[in-house]
Structure 1
Amino acid sequence: MHSKFLLSSCLLMSGLSQAASLEESVAFAIDYSPEILAQYSRYQSVVRDGDAASGLYMPQVNLYAAAGYEETRYNSGSKLDTDDRGLTRTEIGVKVSQLLFDGFKTTSNVDRLTFEAEAERLTLISRAENVSLDVVRNYLDILKAETLLELSKRNVKEHQEIYQDIQDKKSKGLSSNSDLAQISARVATAQSSLIAAQNNLFDLQTQYLRLVGKPAVNLVYPRFDYALLPSSSQVALEQAVENHPEIKASLLDIDAARKEMRREKGDYYPELKLELHANKNDNVSNPPGGVDEDARLMLTMDYDLFNGFSTDSRVESSAWRVEEARAIRLRTEREVREGTQLAWNAYKMLEQQKSLLQQNVDAAKIAELGYIQQFNVGRRSLLDVLDAKVEVFLARRNFISTEYDQTLAAYRVLNAMGMLTYALRIEHPEEWQGENK
C-alpha cells in the first residue's frame, strides 16, 4: 500500500528535531502499521475476487489446438478390404460461449463479494481507528512520564537541599544523627523513584518507536476539541451504534451471507448458454488429405437432476453462516456499546477526580509550607516536614496522572464512536474510498 495520510492543517516535517504533534504521530503510525497494511491487502484481494466473478458476465472464448500421429485400421468385414495407415493428425477449434442463465449464481456471487469488499474496507477504517487510539495512549503516556520525571527530579533536588541543610546543622551541633539518617533514607527513596520514572519513560519511548516508526522527539501536549464530544452518554451510544465502522461491516457480512445462500440455491436451476463452435481437423479417422470442418451455434442446457443432496447441504450450511453473521453483529454492537459507556464513565469520573485532586495539591502545599515554618522554630520534627513533602509529591503525581488520563478518556470516547481519525483531522487516502461504490 503506497499511501500517505493528509492532515487538514499544514504539517512541517522537515526533520526529527522539530516538535512531533499528535496528529503527525498518528498519521505516521497508520501509514507504518503492518496490521493496517495486512488489512488493506485483504480488502484489495476481495475487490479483485469480485472483478473475477464479474468476468462471467462477459463472453468466454476458448481456443483448442492439437497435433500428433494417428494410426488407423479399417476393415469392412472382408479380408480383401482392409486399410492400415499412419497419418499426421491436426485439430484446431474455437468456442465462444455466453452465459444466459445459471440460477442467479453469478449475480449472487458478485453481490456477495461486493458486500464483503465493503465490509473489509470498513474493517480497514476500524483498524486505523484502533491504531490511532494506541498511538494517542502511548503519546499521552510519554508526555505524562516526562512530566512525572521532572516532578521526580524536583523531588530529589528538594530532598538533597534538606539533606545539605541538616548536614550543616549537624556540623554545628544543631541536629542529630537520627535526623541525618532520616533524610538520607528519604533522598535514597526519591532517587529510586527518579530511576523508576526514567525507566518508565524509556519503555514508553520504545513503544512509540514500534508504533510510529520513528523516535519520540519533542512531543507537544495536544489541544483537544471538547466540542466534538457528545452532550450525554445516551447521545454517545446512539452515534456509536449508527456510525461505528465495525457495526456497519457486521451488517454487510449478513448481506454477504444471504447472497452466498442465494448463490448455492442456483444449483436447483438449469444452466443455459449460447455457444458458437468452429473446428478444422485434418486426418482424423480419414484417408490422407481428409479435411473435416464444421461450425455450429447452439443453445445448451445443463441441468443437474441429482447430486446426492449436495446442493441441499450447501444451502443449509450457508443458512447457518447467515445466523453466525447475525450473532457476530449482535456481539459487535454490544462491544461497541460497552466500550462507549466505559469510556464515557471514565471521562466523567476523572473530571470529578481532577477537581478534588487539585484541592488536594493546594491543601498539601499549604500544609508543607506551614510545617517548614514550624520546623524552623522547633515546633515540628524533621519527620513531619519530610512526610509533608511526600504528601505534596504524591498529590501532584496523582493530579498529573488524572489530568492525562482524562484527556485519554476523551479520545477513547471518540474512538468508541468511530470518530477518532475525524477528530484528529486525518483524511483517509483515496485507495480507501471504495472501488465498488
Structure 2
Amino acid sequence: MRSKTMMWMGILFSTTTHAISLEESVAFGIDYSPEIMAQYSRFQSVIRDKDAASGLYLPQANLYGAIGYEETRYNSGSYIDPEDRGLTRTELGIKVSQLIFDGFSTTSNVDRLGYEAEAERLTLISRAENVSLDIVRIYLERLKAQTLLELSERNVKEHQEIYQDVLDKKQQGLSSNSDLAQISARVATAQSSLIASQNNLFDLTAQFNRLVGQKPKGLVHPNFDGALLPSSVDVAKSQAIENHPEILAAMLDLEAARKEVRREKSGYYPEIKLELHANKNDNVSNAEGPDEDARIMLTMDYDLFNGFSTDSRVESSAWRVEEARAIRIRTEREVTEGTELAWNAYDMLDKQKSLLQQNVDAAKIAELGYIQQFAVGRRSLLDVLDAKVEVFLARRNYVNTKFDHTLAAYRLFNAMGILTYALRVEHPEEWQEEVK
C-alpha cells in the first residue's frame, strides 16, 4: 500500500540526512497513518464481501458421507434377522444446485456491496486528503515556530546589546539606574518569550513525529500551485460539490441503501433452483446390499407466511435509505461550508498580509529613527525599547499571517477534494481503480 512517491524517495534519499519537503512529508505520513491503514483494510474487507456474494451466481456443490450401526425392528417386535439384528450402514451423496431465481436477492446484494466498496474506496481517498491536511498544518506550524524562534533569538540578542551599552554608560556615569532596570526588565521579557517559543517548537516536533514518522529536518517554506485555485468562491463550491470524495461516497451509500430495499423485497418471491442429487448407500433399513439413486429436479421454495418479517425488513431498509439521504445532504452542506470558510480565510489573509508587510517596514523605519535620535539625546531609552517591541510584534504578526495564508490555500484544496493532487502525491494503483 505504498505510494510511488515513497518508492523513489526511499531509493534516492536517506531520511536521516536529507531535508524533508512538504510533499515528502505528506507521502511519508499517508503510509505511516494507522487511520488510513484501518480504512484500507475496511475497503478490502467489503470487496471480499462482494466476491462472497457473487459466489451464489455459480453452482453450489455439497458432498455428504456417513457411517454407523443400524438395526430395524417392526411393530410386531420382531427383527429381520434374530441372529444378527443390525448392519453397518454407509451413506455417500453429492448435491449440486444452481440458483435460477431468488427474487433478485443475489443481484441486489452484489450491487449493494459494489456500491459500498466504491464508497469505501472514496472514503479512503477522503481520509488521505484529511491526513494530508493535518500534515500540511503541522509542517507549516513547525516551520512557523522555527521562524518565530529565530525572531525571538534575534530580539533577545538586540536587547542584550542595548543592556550592555546602557551598563557601559552607567559605569561611565552617563546613564541612570532606572535606565538599567528598565532594559533589564525588557531583557527578561524577551528571554521569557524565547523560552515559550522553544517550548512550542518542542511540542510541534513531537506532533510532527507522530503524524509523519520522521524527524522535521530542514523544512522549507512550500509554494502552492496558484493555478489550481478557483477564481471565485462560487466556482470553489461548485468544484467541491462535483469532485469531493466524501460527497461522492455519500451518494454511493444512498444507492447501496436502495439496493438493500430491493434485496429485502426478494422475500415476496419464490426461490427456484435446479438440483442434482446422487447417493450411494449400503445396508439401508437393514436391507443388506447397495441402495443407490440419482435425480435432477427443478425445485421451488415459496415462503407463504413468515409472521410479517419480510414486511418489517423492507420497512427497516427503507428507513436506512432516508438516513443515507440525510447524510448525503449533511455532507454536501459541510463541504460547502468548509469551502466557503477556506476561501474567506485565503482571501482575507492575502489582503492582511500586504498590510502587515507595510507595518513591518514602517516600524523598522521608526526604530532606526528612534535609535539615531536617542544617540543625540532627543529620544529616551523607553522610546527605543518600545520601538523595538513594535518591530518584533510587527514581524511576528507578519510571519503568523504569512503561514496562515499558505495554510488557507491548502485548506481550500482540501475542501475541494484535490489536496493530494495539488501536492503531486500519487495514490497507489488499487486506490485509483473504480470498483465495478
SS of the aligned residue for 2:294 comes to strand
Correspondences of 1:182-197 after superposition (within 5 Å): 182-197=182-197
Tell me, yes or no, if the aligned pair for 2:60 and 2:98 is still in contact at 8 Å.
yes
SS of the aligned residue for 2:279 comes to strand
CA distance, structure 2, for counterparts of residue 193 and residue 99 of structure 1: 76
Tell me, yes or no, if the aligned pair for 1:241 and 1:337 is still in contact at 8 Å.
yes
CA distance, structure 2, for counterparts of residue 403 and residue 78 of structure 1: 102
Tell me, yes or no, if the aligned pair for 2:280 and 2:290 is still in contact at 8 Å.
yes
Match of 1:230 in 2: 230
1:377–1:167 CA distance, 2 compared to 1 (3 A): same
Tell me, yes or no, if the aligned pair for 2:102 and 2:266 is still in contact at 8 Å.
yes
**Structure 1, residues 197-251: CA drift from partner, whole Å, max 9, x if none?**
1111111111110001111111111121111101111100000000000000000
CA distance, structure 1, for counterparts of residue 276 and residue 424 of structure 2: 57
SS of the aligned residue for 1:280 comes to strand
Tell me, yes or no, if the aligned pair for 2:73 and 2:80 is still in contact at 8 Å.
no
Match of 2:391 in 1: 392
Match of 2:275 in 1: 275
Per mean C-alpha deviation after superposition, the further-off stretch among 145-154 and 9-18 is 9-18
Match of 1:19 in 2: 19
CA distance, structure 1, for counterparts of residue 135 and residue 229 of structure 2: 20
SS of the aligned residue for 1:167 comes to helix
Correspondences of 1:278-297 after superposition (within 5 Å): 278-288=278-288, 290-297=289-296
Correspondences of 1:126-145 after superposition (within 5 Å): 126-145=126-145
Correspondences of 1:123-162 after superposition (within 5 Å): 123-162=123-162
SS of the aligned residue for 1:157 comes to helix
Match of 2:163 in 1: 163
SS of the aligned residue for 1:74 comes to coil
Match of 1:370 in 2: 369
Where do 4+ consecutive residues of structure 1 move more than 4 Å? 7-11, 77-84
After TM superposition, give the deviation of residue 257 of structure 1 in Å.
Answer: 0.1
Correspondences of 1:350-369 after superposition (within 5 Å): 350-369=349-368
Match of 2:257 in 1: 257
After TM superposition, give the deviation of residue 15 of structure 1 in Å.
Answer: 3.6
After TM superposition, give the deviation of residue 80 of structure 1 in Å.
Answer: 10
CA distance, structure 1, for counterparts of residue 331 and residue 161 of structure 2: 57
Tell me, yes or no, if the aligned pair for 2:279 and 2:293 is still in contact at 8 Å.
yes
Q: Aligned letter for 1:389?
A: K
CA distance, structure 2, for counterparts of residue 373 and residue 30 of structure 1: 54
Correspondences of 1:18-37 after superposition (within 5 Å): 18-37=18-37
SS of the aligned residue for 1:87 comes to strand
SS of the aligned residue for 1:220 comes to coil
Match of 1:430 in 2: 429
Is residue 174 from structure 1 mapped to residue 174 from structure 2 by the alignment? yes
CA distance, structure 2, for counterparts of residue 67 and residue 346 of structure 1: 78
Tell me, yes or no, if the aligned pair for 2:240 and 2:339 is still in contact at 8 Å.
yes
After TM superposition, give the deviation of residue 14 of structure 1 in Å.
Answer: 2.7
Number of positions where the alignment pairs a residue of Structure 1 with one of Structure 2: 434
CA distance, structure 2, for counterparts of residue 407 and residue 79 of structure 1: 98
Correspondences of 1:2-151 after superposition (within 5 Å): 2-6=1-5, 12-74=12-74, 77=76, 83=82, 85-151=85-151
Q: Aligned letter for 2:120?
A: E
Is residue 415 from structure 1 mapped to residue 395 from structure 2 by the alignment? no
SS of the aligned residue for 1:426 comes to coil
Structure 1 segments unaligned to the other structure (5+ residues): none
After TM superposition, give the deviation of residue 421 of structure 1 in Å.
Answer: 0.3
Q: Aligned letter for 1:130?
A: N
Q: Aligned letter for 1:32?
A: Y
CA distance, structure 2, for counterparts of residue 125 and residue 235 of structure 1: 22
Per mean C-alpha deviation after superposition, the further-off stretch among 78-87 and 61-70 is 78-87
Tell me, yes or no, if the aligned pair for 2:94 and 2:279 is still in contact at 8 Å.
yes
CA distance, structure 1, for counterparts of residue 290 and residue 17 of structure 2: 82
After TM superposition, give the deviation of residue 376 of structure 1 in Å.
Answer: 1.1
CA distance, structure 2, for counterparts of residue 399 and residue 148 of structure 1: 10
Q: Aligned letter for 2:431?
A: W
After TM superposition, give the deviation of residue 359 of structure 1 in Å.
Answer: 1.1
Tell me, yes or no, if the aligned pair for 2:123 and 2:249 is still in contact at 8 Å.
yes
CA distance, structure 2, for counterparts of residue 80 and residue 423 of structure 1: 87
Is residue 339 from structure 1 mapped to residue 300 from structure 2 by the alignment? no
After TM superposition, give the deviation of residue 286 of structure 1 in Å.
Answer: 2.8
CA distance, structure 1, for counterparts of residue 93 and residue 7 of structure 2: 60
SS of the aligned residue for 1:299 comes to strand
1:421–1:81 CA distance, 2 compared to 1 (3 A): closer
Is residue 247 from structure 1 mapped to residue 250 from structure 2 by the alignment? no
How much identity, in percent, do the aligned residues show? 77
SS of the aligned residue for 2:281 comes to strand
CA distance, structure 2, for counterparts of residue 287 and residue 277 of structure 1: 22
After TM superposition, give the deviation of residue 273 of structure 1 in Å.
Answer: 0.2
After TM superposition, give the deviation of residue 435 of structure 1 in Å.
Answer: 6.1
**Structure 1, residues 125-181: CA drift from partner, whole Å, max 9, x if none?**
000000000000111111111111111000000000000000000001000001000
Report the TM-score, using the length of structure 2 for normalisation: 0.97
Tell me, yes or no, if the aligned pair for 2:413 and 2:419 is still in contact at 8 Å.
yes
Per mean C-alpha deviation after superposition, the further-off stretch among 362-371 and 2-11 is 2-11
CA distance, structure 1, for counterparts of residue 391 and residue 426 of structure 2: 44
1:161–1:277 CA distance, 2 compared to 1 (3 A): same
Match of 1:205 in 2: 205
Tell me, yes or no, if the aligned pair for 2:72 and 2:80 is still in contact at 8 Å.
no
CA distance, structure 2, for counterparts of residue 270 and residue 323 of structure 1: 28
1:422–1:108 CA distance, 2 compared to 1 (3 A): same
1:80–1:51 CA distance, 2 compared to 1 (3 A): closer
Tell me, yes or no, if the aligned pair for 1:6 and 1:429 is still in contact at 8 Å.
no
After TM superposition, give the deviation of residue 8 of structure 1 in Å.
Answer: 11
After TM superposition, give the deviation of residue 362 of structure 1 in Å.
Answer: 1.0
CA distance, structure 1, for counterparts of residue 44 and residue 316 of structure 2: 27
Q: Aligned letter for 2:147?
A: T
CA distance, structure 1, for counterparts of residue 18 and residue 319 of structure 2: 56
Structure 2 segments unaligned to the other structure (5+ residues): none
CA distance, structure 2, for counterparts of residue 382 and residue 309 of structure 1: 90
CA distance, structure 2, for counterparts of residue 395 and residue 9 of structure 1: 42
Q: Aligned letter for 2:27?
A: A
Q: Aligned letter for 1:373?
A: Q
Over the aligned positions, Cα root-mean-square deviation in angstroms equals 1.6
After TM superposition, give the deviation of residue 366 of structure 1 in Å.
Answer: 1.2
CA distance, structure 2, for counterparts of residue 112 and residue 227 of structure 1: 39
Tell me, yes or no, if the aligned pair for 1:96 and 1:275 is still in contact at 8 Å.
yes
